[in-house]
Amino acid sequence: MTTAADVSVVRYEPRGAAHEVFKARDSELVIAGPAGTGKSLACLWRLHLCALNNPGTRFLIVRKTAVSLGSTTLVTYEEKVAKAALAGGIVSWFGGSTREAPGYRYSNGSKINVGGLDKPEKIMSAEYDIVFADEATELTIDDWEAIGTRLRNGVLAWQQQIAACNPSYPKHWIKQRCDQGSARMLLSRHRDNPAYVNADGTFTAKGRDYFAKLDNLTGVRRLRLKDGKWAAAEGQIYETWDDAVHLVDAFRIPETWTRWWTVDFGYTNPFVLQCWAEDPDGRLFLYREIYHTRRLVEDHAKQILRVVRRCVECCKVKRADHDCQDCKECRLEWTEPQPRSILCDHDAEDRATLERKLELSTRPAHKTVSDGIQSVQSRLKVQPDGRPRLFICRDALVERDAELDAASLPTCTADEVTGYVWAVKPGNKGGLKEEPLKENDHGCDAMRYMVAARDLVGRTRVRWL
């Protein structure tokens, strides 16, 4: 039988909430706190040690999508938790089969299956002793309850589902579940992470660099990721926004769905292009986005065309600098339906440049703010069929802006929404809501243009006297 003693010594020092993870036997356990406190690491160590010391046990590591799991959680598991066990052959990777989910096999017969809830067939057909959901705020309450039905392997004396997450908005189902006593919440803090904070409370060199990044955060992102608070931005405009509801996995969009583009021009501030698809029931899906600073409109136009066109008959010029997209001899075709309309910010010069480079016409967006915001708010509400009427696809972003990332600023529209707030002007009695704060709102503006085009333009305006 393989035990923890058979594995090369790996030093891990759990503190605070991380230490409590190893002792807790609650049926539903949540470890929540700011970014960088070691929440996921503690949960992965818990599963690894349980698997080593309890032959025949079965566990599951899950995230909302399989892609996000492979690029984050499993990297931590392989590099910081099971590296020695993998090298020594005590743990081995199994890539999955038609009957079994992929995962890690232990020489004592234990297994840790892995998967995303976007592809639940295999992972939800097995039974487990412990399930660990990383970045659990991405999940819906239905996801969480479905996971709970698989806790019936019965090899361990207790069965448990564990969630690790950064705080979200105060009414998130995870916090409500903990407040109501259905789950237990452990509060993780930066002092719990020995990689960043020494035992005496001083920062490590690595910690100083990390906290310098956190200090650049502002607004609700700072409250959640640095301070660890379940907070909504004060005066948040789109209060019903919920990542678990309004963010959806990318999917193949039918050719018959109408396409729309919206554009908010910028250079120092981000240039935003949003590609929308409208389903037969009128729901809108943001499936592609360019959100980037310090590029000319003509350069953005080239990037847009490279994304939506391909060369089907090349001129076969062999120059190293040959670009089919710029070549008049190459025959190009669109890979998706052309937009029914391109709705633009009202900058005449930028519009003219974009039209010339794309060889497509544009039209000015409906820009009145108050009615546009109300229309977006209406679309975000969950309807009787259980779905809202506006969604943003995960991974819609074509290219991440490194400068925005380094400055801890939003890098896409989904990043903006929770910090999109009302501006309160001096002398405004009672802080009445008049207009949004003109800061980090470029994607929200473009989103408003889209909704206004479908829900406002053409409506008869009635003025009551």
**Unique residue bearing structure tokens 């067939």:** 121
Edge-to-edge, what's the strand order for the sheet holding 247-248? 247-248, 390-393, 284-292, 271-278, 258-264, 341-344, 363-364
What average pLDDT is seen over the chain?
A: 91
The whole-number pLDDT of residue 462 equals 45
Q: Is the pLDDT of residue 433 over 90?
A: no
Helices (H) and strands (E) in the chain, counts: 16, 19
CA distance 2 to 51: 10
Segment among 4-18, 115-129, 252-266, 446-460 with least mean pLDDT = 4-18
Query: What is the model's pLDDT at position 463?
Result: 45
Chain centroid offset of residue 39 CA: 18
Residues 51, 112: Cα–Cα separation, whole Å: 8
- In angstroms, rounded to a whole number, what is the distance separating the alpha carbons of residues 143 and 175? 15
- Per-residue pLDDT of 344-400, as tens digits, reads 999 999 999 999 999 999 999 999 999 999 999 999 999 999 899 999 998 899 999
pLDDT in tens, 408-420: 789 999 999 988 9
User: For residue 424, is it left (φ>0), alpha (ψ between -120 and 50) or beta?
Assistant: beta
Domains located in the chain, CATH noted: 4-214 (3.40.50.300), 243-297+338-455 (3.30.420.280)
pLDDT of res. 10:
66
The full 3-state SS of 355-403, as one line of letters, equals: HHHHCCCCEECCCCHHHHHHHHHHHHCCCCCCCCCEEEECCCECCCCHH
Q: What pTM, to 2 d.p., does this model score?
A: 0.72
Strands (DSSP E) along 25-129, which ranges?
28-32, 58-63, 91-94, 103-106, 111-116
pLDDT-derived band at 233 (thresholds 50, 70, 90) equals confident
- What are the tens digits of pLDDT across the range 176-222? 999 989 999 999 999 999 999 998 889 999 999 999 989 988 888 88
> What is the predicted pLDDT for the residue at 461?
46
Q: How confident is the model at residue 44 (pLDDT cuts 50, 70, 90)?
A: very high
Among the residue ranges 147-151, 244-248, 277-281, 431-435, the one predicted with the least confidence is 431-435
pLDDT at 372: 95
Question: What 3-state DSSP class applies to 454?
Answer: helix
For residue 94, pLDDT over 90 is answered with: yes
Q: Is the pLDDT of residue 90 over 60?
A: yes
User: For residue 8, what pLDDT is reported?
Assistant: 56
**What mean pLDDT comes out for the span 134-156?**
94
What digits encode the pLDDT tens for the residues 291-339? 999 999 999 999 999 999 999 999 888 787 888 888 888 999 999 999 9
pLDDT tens digits for 240-262? 888 888 999 899 999 999 999 99
**CA 317 to CA 203: how far, in whole Å?**
58
Per-residue pLDDT band for 430 (boundaries 50, 70, 90) equals: low
What mean pLDDT do residues 429-438 have? 69
DSSP 301-338: HHHHHHHHEEEEE------TT--GGG-SSSEEEESSPP
Would you say residue 2 has pLDDT above 60?
A: no
